[in-house]
Chain A
Amino acid sequence: MSIRDSAASMAAALAKKEITSVELTNQHFDQINAVDKDVHAFLYLDKEGALAQAKEVDKKRAAGEKLSPLAGVPLALKDVMVQKDVPTTCGSKILEGWKPPYDSTVVSKLKAAGIVILGKTNMDEFAMGSSTENSAFGPTHNPWDLSRIPGGSGGGSSAALAAFQAPLAIGTDTGGSIRQPAAVTGTVGVKPTYGAVSRYGLVAFSSSLDQAGPCARTVLDAALLHQVIAGFDPKDSTSINQVTPDVVAAAKKLDVKGVKIGVVKQLAGDGYQKGVENKFNEAIAELVKLGAEIIEVSCPNFEYALAAYYLIAPSECSSNLARFDSIRFGLRVGDDGARGAEEVMNLTRQAGFGREVKRRIILGTYALSSGYYDAYYGSAQKVRTLIKQDFDKAFAKCDVLVSPTTPTTAFKIGEKSNDPLAMYLNDIATIPVNMAGIGGMSLPCGLADEDNLPVGFQIMSPAMKDDRMYLVGGALEAALLDKWKKPLLDFAPKLVGSK
């Protein structure tokens, strides 16, 4: 039993009582202690809470109670997800010190399943960013190369997986914040169908796009976690009241004979790194060998997805973030007894929000203002409908669609931090999925020749057909493992102090 094992293997070892959850949890805290000074994946460690949870699971197991499949396995939680009495910052100074009085639905489900929550992971402030450099508490470093970004906004979660600090993590994905970090760290990340996982207790960035999902090192581990967190929630009006498809069975099936896979023409070419395209094409060749049918599809409106996204997401965030006014929770600046509420609010926001957050609030406020609404927000919603139609047409011919997850491999920390547009382009291939509310997965498909860094392979499936991406992802992963002889993460340089 090693911390490099999959969550499924850890669960099996726990079930066979080869190891206790307390031991497993402690091993992960040891690894965190050894490497996180370099990686900085975590913002908060809840050692006491985690060990109490682990102890509880061990006790139940000793008593012969029936436990859920992942009971006792540790997990890292993105700091945008509310957990009762555990500090939740969203990577922002404005929430520093806030301890939520309630659990998000995802956290309730994790706790009910006996999954041990190690702590909260770093992220771009309020999930706005593609590099985790926008965290108010300093960037996270990519375990493949500490001078590079781990992706964002969920860079903390993906780095924790790649650095073996946790076998499972929760991410959230508004425009690619689960899939892009997975791609650049050589891990697996899934954005389920919008409404498949409850948003109750997920601090909102862009309500119509946000979706929580599983992050892991294998497709099966992601499926096991997906099964735990998905399902209808009466507390979230946008949650879908349907049975979650059996993603675990799909991940285990390893058979894609006759599956129609559409390659999106628009998600390649200009702007895509050569090595990324090569690894993507090699993966396609593997799928052909497995008997899948490859079809080229055209989604002409994807071209406008990024522009429309940068109207919708900032618009919604300008309203969602209005509640950070210093009155009921979080930071308060300048409350000297003489200043009024509005002035204190302004000073708090000036000090508490970072540059990117301010940029998006200003953008969104402008886009929603009277006289501009139709031209900006209204048009963006129309583009959204067109993108959905592109997907509908493509899915009429294909079971899933595929593309590289990101145009490039991990870039250097600081390289794009002063060029927001270049930064935004990272999400060009992931954003259409959020705009249409469908499912998307990223799994590693190799190392780019130019830089030996991981490349992500994106699989997109129609709404509430999330099992299809697990089916294709599981089969592709097995074929690639066969080819590489060892997991991709085993090619990564060993971190100093790592077990």
Chain B
Amino acid sequence: MSLNYDQVLEKYEPTLGLEVHVELNTKSKMFCGCATEFGAAPNTQTCPVCLGLPGALPVVNNRAIESTILIGLALNCSIAPFSRFARKNYFYPDMPKNFQTSQYDEPICINGYLDVEIETDEGSKTFRVEIERVHMEEDTGKSLHVGGSTGRIHGADYSLLDYNRAGIPLVEIVTKMVPNTGKYAPAVAKAYVATLRDILKALKVSDVKMEQGSLRCDVNLSLSKSGSGKLGTRSETKNVNSLRSVERAVSGEAVRQGNRLESGEKIVQETRHFLEESGQTRPGRSKEQAEDYRYFPEPDLVPVAPDATWIEKLRKQLPEKPADRRKRLQTAWGVPDKEMAAMINAELLDTVEETVLLGSDPTKARSWWLGEVSRIANDRAVSPTELISVKDVAQIIELITQGELTDKLARQVVEGVIAKEGSPSEVITKRGLKVVSDDSELMKAIEAAIAASPETAEKVRGGNIPAAGALIGAVMKLTGGQADAAKVKELLLKHLGQ
């Protein structure tokens, strides 16, 4: 009889720890001048330094240091006046030097925090996650295991190595132990990663694409018997690569550990892998003994010692906090909570803001991006901004506001722009999409519609206003949709003595 999540949480108190790896979006690598573009042909972005050839030496990318300090400042950290790189020594085929140059006991940013908001039974609540450190390191290359059935190294016929990723700057953000979350541990973990992602995005230091691996999360979790005050043994679940997975990894691991403890088994301190399909974790390669990385200060690099002037200059570059910005925009635009959340979830807040900044009405901007454009984007499995530019959407909204386009016509313009027929005005010209605003022309259509269904017209004359809908529809049809429906209604009712 196994316990479910709620049953486990009745008996045990979880303690979380989160390690997030972020690939910085610097143009060049951490220790050499090689390009960092994603998706280049294998081994085309390499040099003696990132290939670890004999004699090559690293030089720190200053831009990466700045990005890391910015992250530290945004997470309320202290910036260390003196920090160093160390060598983490271990063998892995896709790690060229067989040591990773990483900060260890002297990281650049320490002791910060991040406040995250979660929904609880008592409503929305702020939870403070304390940050232990933010440090710099380099990424490894990538192995592609060919042959075998699993795509993993075990059972493969051979492996191909791509060193394009080797040496890409990584920042690791490590929380302190996060206690007292109770049953909200999964929600806190998810909210932390989501909030962190928003901040990194606002700082423009990373692409933060979890699906491309530019943001990766390791989840540490332990359980202690409620009220015992004694910390349990933790497991570390690696490479949890979506927000939903973060939540599932925490709850899944809590259930696994809870059931083990209930049946009197011990928790093994180990690395586990998250399984996307089942939401469960499986043990990583077992280690006969604890890995000894033989850290020592990297003798090929000099210490990083940012001075106060530099730090203050960077502090001034900090953008508005994402949470503050959202509140500001929500108030300014008068958006209800639910719609605001939808906009954020669709990752269209920036796009809508840019559209508004080009003069569009916020409500219209929101409804066009989240409505028509998103619908087509979803059908084609692309992002809305890949289909149509902010400028074009703003222009279409402008034409609607001026009465040059009806919503229906505007949809055709959007369709035309997406089909690459040209700019909105070119599409309007090519397709002949103009609002019929000439009263006499509309009246001709209205008379024709009435003549076609005299009984309906009689009903309207008799005071049955809703019956006018059918006539309006007929008029719209006769004008090829190019009439302003409100205007048609007004003229029609007047004509029928209403």
Interface string of B46-58 (1 = CB under 8 A from A): 0010011111111
* Beta-carbon nearest neighbor of A90 in chain B: B54
Q: Are B57 and A88 in contact (CB under 8 A)?
A: no
* Beta-carbon nearest neighbor of A200 in chain B: B57
Contacts of A370 in B (CB 8 A): 292, 294
* Beta-carbon nearest neighbor of A101 in chain B: B48
Contacts of B301 in A (CB 8 A): 237-238
Which of A101, A207, A235, A368 has a CB less than 8 Å from the CB of B53? A101
Q: Are B161 and A203 in contact (CB under 8 A)?
A: no
- A211-242 contacts to B, CB under 8 A, are 234-238
- What CA separation (Å) do A234 and B61 show in the bound complex? 12
* Beta-carbon nearest neighbor of B88 in chain A: A319
* Beta-carbon nearest neighbor of B99 in chain A: A319
* Beta-carbon nearest neighbor of A126 in chain B: B54
Contacts of A395 in B (CB 8 A): none
- What CA separation (Å) do A141 and B159 show in the bound complex? 45
Q: Are A328 and B57 in contact (CB under 8 A)?
A: no
Q: Are A237 and B57 in contact (CB under 8 A)?
A: yes
Q: Are A323 and B294 in contact (CB under 8 A)?
A: no
A95 with B54, Cβ < 8 A, contacts A101-B48, A237-B302 known = yes
Interface string of B290-329 (1 = CB under 8 A from A): 0010111001111000000000000000000000000000
Interface core residue of B59, B96, B161, B301 (most chain A CB under 10 Å): B59
Q: Are A328 and B292 in contact (CB under 8 A)?
A: no
- What CA separation (Å) do A457 and B55 show in the bound complex? 31
Q: Are A322 and B89 in contact (CB under 8 A)?
A: yes
A491 within 8 A of B: no
Which of B54, B57, B59, B302 has a CB less than 8 Å from the CB of A323? B54
Contacts of B299 in A (CB 8 A): 206-208, 238, 316
Contacts of A196 in B (CB 8 A): none
* Beta-carbon nearest neighbor of B158 in chain A: A337
A411 within 8 A of B: no
A110 within 8 A of B: no
Which of A200, A316, A341, A368 has a CB less than 8 Å from the CB of B55? A200
Which of A81, A100, A200, A322 has a CB less than 8 Å from the CB of B99? A322
Contacts of A234 in B (CB 8 A): 59
- A16-47 contacts to B, CB under 8 A, are none
Q: Are A202 and B55 in contact (CB under 8 A)?
A: yes
Interface core residue of B56, B97, B99 (most chain A CB under 10 Å): B56
Q: Are A365 and B55 in contact (CB under 8 A)?
A: no
Contacts of B91 in A (CB 8 A): 322, 325, 342, 345
A160 within 8 A of B: no
- A157-174 contacts to B, CB under 8 A, are none
Q: Are A368 and B54 in contact (CB under 8 A)?
A: no
- What CA separation (Å) do A102 and B54 show in the bound complex? 10
Which of A203, A208, A319 has a CB less than 8 Å from the CB of B54? A203
- What CA separation (Å) do A95 and B53 show in the bound complex? 11
CB distance from B122 to the nearest CB of A (A): 46
B197 within 8 A of A: no
Contacts of A272 in B (CB 8 A): none
Interface string of A328-345 (1 = CB under 8 A from B): 110000000100011001
Interface Cβ pair total, 8 Å cutoff: 99
CB distance from A461 to the nearest CB of B (A): 23
CB distance from B260 to the nearest CB of A (A): 28
- B49-101 contacts to A, CB under 8 A, are 51-60, 87, 89, 91, 93, 96-99
Q: Are B54 and A100 in contact (CB under 8 A)?
A: yes
Q: Looking at chain B, what size class is its interface with the partner chain? A: 20 to 34
Contacts of B57 in A (CB 8 A): 199-200, 235-237
CB distance from B253 to the nearest CB of A (A): 27
Interface string of B98-111 (1 = CB under 8 A from A): 11000000000000
Q: Are B294 and A365 in contact (CB under 8 A)?
A: yes
Q: Are B87 and A319 in contact (CB under 8 A)?
A: yes
A369 within 8 A of B: yes
Q: Are B53 and A328 in contact (CB under 8 A)?
A: yes
A104 within 8 A of B: yes
Q: Are A327 and B161 in contact (CB under 8 A)?
A: yes
Q: Are A323 and B48 in contact (CB under 8 A)?
A: no
A377 within 8 A of B: yes
- A83-117 contacts to B, CB under 8 A, are 88, 90, 95, 98, 100-102, 104
- B140-187 contacts to A, CB under 8 A, are 158-159, 161
Q: Are A237 and B60 in contact (CB under 8 A)?
A: yes
Contacts of A203 in B (CB 8 A): 54-55
* Beta-carbon nearest neighbor of B157 in chain A: A337
- What CA separation (Å) do A206 and B54 show in the bound complex? 13
- What CA separation (Å) do A90 and B53 show in the bound complex? 13
A369 with B292, Cβ < 8 A, contacts A237-B300, A319-B89 known = yes
Q: Are A100 and B55 in contact (CB under 8 A)?
A: yes
Interface core residue of A95, A201, A315, A337 (most chain B CB under 10 Å): A201
CB distance from B458 to the nearest CB of A (A): 89
* Beta-carbon nearest neighbor of B32 in chain A: A235
A261 within 8 A of B: no
Interface string of B214-227 (1 = CB under 8 A from A): 00000000000000
- What CA separation (Å) do A152 and B248 show in the bound complex? 61
- What CA separation (Å) do A327 and B166 show in the bound complex? 15
Q: Are A368 and B59 in contact (CB under 8 A)?
A: no
Q: Are B97 and A323 in contact (CB under 8 A)?
A: yes
Q: Are B54 and A373 in contact (CB under 8 A)?
A: no
A204 within 8 A of B: yes
Contacts of B292 in A (CB 8 A): 369-370
* Beta-carbon nearest neighbor of B159 in chain A: A341
* Beta-carbon nearest neighbor of B161 in chain A: A327
Q: Are A377 and B296 in contact (CB under 8 A)?
A: yes
CB distance from B84 to the nearest CB of A (A): 12
A82 within 8 A of B: yes
Contacts of B93 in A (CB 8 A): 325, 327, 341
- What CA separation (Å) do A199 and B300 show in the bound complex? 9
- What CA separation (Å) do A329 and B57 show in the bound complex? 17
CB distance from A85 to the nearest CB of B (A): 13
Contacts of A206 in B (CB 8 A): 299
- A304-333 contacts to B, CB under 8 A, are 315-316, 318-319, 322-325, 327-329
Q: Are A235 and B54 in contact (CB under 8 A)?
A: no
CB distance from B141 to the nearest CB of A (A): 10
Contacts of B59 in A (CB 8 A): 234-237
CB distance from A241 to the nearest CB of B (A): 11
Contacts of A238 in B (CB 8 A): 299-302
* Beta-carbon nearest neighbor of A210 in chain B: B299
Contacts of B51 in A (CB 8 A): 328
Contacts of A345 in B (CB 8 A): 91
- What CA separation (Å) do A373 and B105 show in the bound complex? 14
CB distance from B67 to the nearest CB of A (A): 19
Contacts of A100 in B (CB 8 A): 48, 53-55
Q: Are A200 and B56 in contact (CB under 8 A)?
A: yes
- What CA separation (Å) do A315 and B58 show in the bound complex? 19
Q: Are A88 and B54 in contact (CB under 8 A)?
A: yes
* Beta-carbon nearest neighbor of A95 in chain B: B54
CB distance from B408 to the nearest CB of A (A): 63
Which of B87, B161, B294, B300 has a CB less than 8 Å from the CB of A369? B294
Q: Are B296 and A315 in contact (CB under 8 A)?
A: yes
* Beta-carbon nearest neighbor of B301 in chain A: A237
- What CA separation (Å) do A338 and B158 show in the bound complex? 9
CB distance from B258 to the nearest CB of A (A): 32
Contacts of B158 in A (CB 8 A): 337
* Beta-carbon nearest neighbor of A325 in chain B: B98
- What CA separation (Å) do A236 and B301 show in the bound complex? 8
- What CA separation (Å) do A365 and B293 show in the bound complex? 10
Can you list 22 A-B pairs with a CB-CB distance of less than 8 A?
Answer: A82-B54, A90-B54, A100-B53, A101-B48, A101-B53, A102-B53, A202-B55, A203-B55, A204-B55, A204-B300, A316-B296, A316-B299, A322-B97, A322-B99, A323-B54, A324-B54, A325-B98, A341-B159, A342-B91, A345-B91, A368-B294, A377-B296
What 6 A-B pairs come out closest when comparing CB atoms? A322-B98, A368-B294, A207-B299, A208-B299, A203-B54, A201-B55
Q: A319-B99, A323-B96 are in contact. List 4 more A-B contacts (CB 8 A).
A: A207-B299, A322-B99, A325-B93, A328-B52
